[in-house]
Amino acid sequence: MAGFAQETNAYTFFVNVVNDNFKFPLIGFVNMAKGDHKGIQLGFVNWNVRNFTGLQLGFVNTTGENLAGAQIAFINTDIQKAHGAQIGFINSATQKVHGAQIGFINTTIKEMYDAQIGFVNTALHEARGVQLGFVNTAIRESRGAQIGFVNSAIKASRGTQIGFVNVTRRKEGVQLGFFNYVDTLEKGFPIGLLSIVRQGGYFALEYGFSAFYPVTVGFKTGVEKFYTTLYIAYRPFEDSSKNRYASGVGFGSIIPLKKSFFFNPELLSFNTIEKKNNRQLTSFVPLFGYQLNRHFSITAGPAVEWSNCEEGDILLKPAFEITNFDIDNKNAIFVGARAGIRYRF
């Protein structure tokens, strides 16, 4: 055993135990600094009782107070504040993180200020930076960006959520995903296939009529600035009963004009429900609407519609048209009209 600085310092290159402000790197299987330490801790287990400045490199790294530097290991733990980077399989800080946590599971008990990059990222208080992972959670608030498969800000999200599922109680900013849920929207809007805004959202049931599908039922959800519609459509004049039905999706926006009038552009896409020879109809419809009362409104406008099929000579044809432009035997453009009546919940 060799001693440095004080007799109580033990430096064996297997188990190293040193006192406050030991001036040499700790390189061994187990490294323990009883006070503050600066420099390098390189070993299987690195443990610093108080503040650590520098690099901890091992299998398990622990700092009892503040970290200024980097921890690289399978398990990294900082009891108070981390200024720098934690890189490993499991990274945790019980106070604040100013820097990056990069690993499979990243957890900050209080505020995370810069980035969490991993499979599961959690800020139990606030996330003020970027959470990039499969599951991102801010228990109180997210004030930056959450980018992943499932993003949740339990109390509020005041930034951007981009993922398959985005959930928050109060929202300021943009949600972009397949499913978005907001209890109260304060500012911004959700963009997705299905967006539910419980307070201040837009929910409506529509019966629509067009030259291609005289019977169309749609459910609209989102906000007036941007909503999504899911459709079921029927063509009673189709020769084959198997080809009469179609499903569709649409996106639209309601722009107020004067009093009860509004402008309502929509982009719609329908696909026939048939095993073979799928036929598609894509429509741009600049509708104009009138609000009859609190719940009911009517809309009407021209429709520019692109009919497409996988095989030639089976294009969807409208019951009536203003004009048409044949591109080839698989594509044609039709100009017609569309109208509807809506009930807003």
> What residues have CB less than 8 Å from 33, skipping those under 6 apart?
18, 19, 20, 22, 26, 41, 47, 48, 49, 50, 52
Q: Nearest CA to 100 among 86, 110, 90, 88?
A: 86
In this structure, are 217 and 247 located in the same domain? yes
> Which of 200, 229, 260 is a domain's end point?
200
- Residues 170 and 273 occupy one common structural domain: no
Domain carrying residue 285: 210-344
The verdict on residue 84 lying in a domain is: no
Would you say residue 124 lies in a domain? yes
117 and 21 assigned to the same domain: no
- Considering the domain architecture, whether residues 187 and 216 belong to the same structural domain is answered as no
221 and 339 in a common domain: yes
More confident residue, 17 or 217: 217
Give yes or no for a contact between 105 and 77, defined as CB atoms under 8 angstroms apart.
no
Q: Please indicate, yes or no, whether residues 231 and 337 belong to a single structural domain of this protein.
A: yes
- Answer whether residue 44 is part of any domain: yes
Considering the domain boundaries, does residue 330 fall inside one? yes
Evaluate whether residue 82 is within a structural domain: no
Q: Three-state DSSP class for 108?
A: strand
Q: Which residues contact 229 (CB under 8 A, 6 or more apart)?
A: 206, 218, 219, 220, 248, 249, 250, 251, 252, 266, 268
Q: Which residue has the higher pLDDT, 135 or 273?
A: 135
Mean pLDDT of 242-267: 91
Instruction: Flag whether 15 is in a domain.
Output: yes
Q: Is the pTM of this model over 0.85?
A: no
What does 54-69 look like in DSSP terms, one character per residue?
Answer: EEEESSEEEESS-EEE
Q: Are residues 175 and 235 in the same domain?
A: no
Say yes or no: 251 and 271 in one domain: yes
Work out how many domains the chain is built from and give that number: 3
pLDDT at 287 over 50: yes
DSSP 2: B
At 166, list the tokens.
Answer: 């985005």
Indicate if 314 and 235 belong to the same structural domain: yes
160 found inside a domain: yes
The pLDDT of residue 2: 41
Range among 106-115, 121-130, 186-195, 221-230 with highest mean pLDDT value? 221-230
Among candidate residues 200, 220, 241, the one where a domain is terminated: 200
Does 77 reside within a domain?
no
271 in the same domain as 181: no
User: Of 178, 200, 222, which residue is a domain's last?
Assistant: 200
**Per-residue pLDDT tens digits for 27-80:** 989 999 888 888 899 999 999 888 889 999 999 999 988 889 999 999 999 988
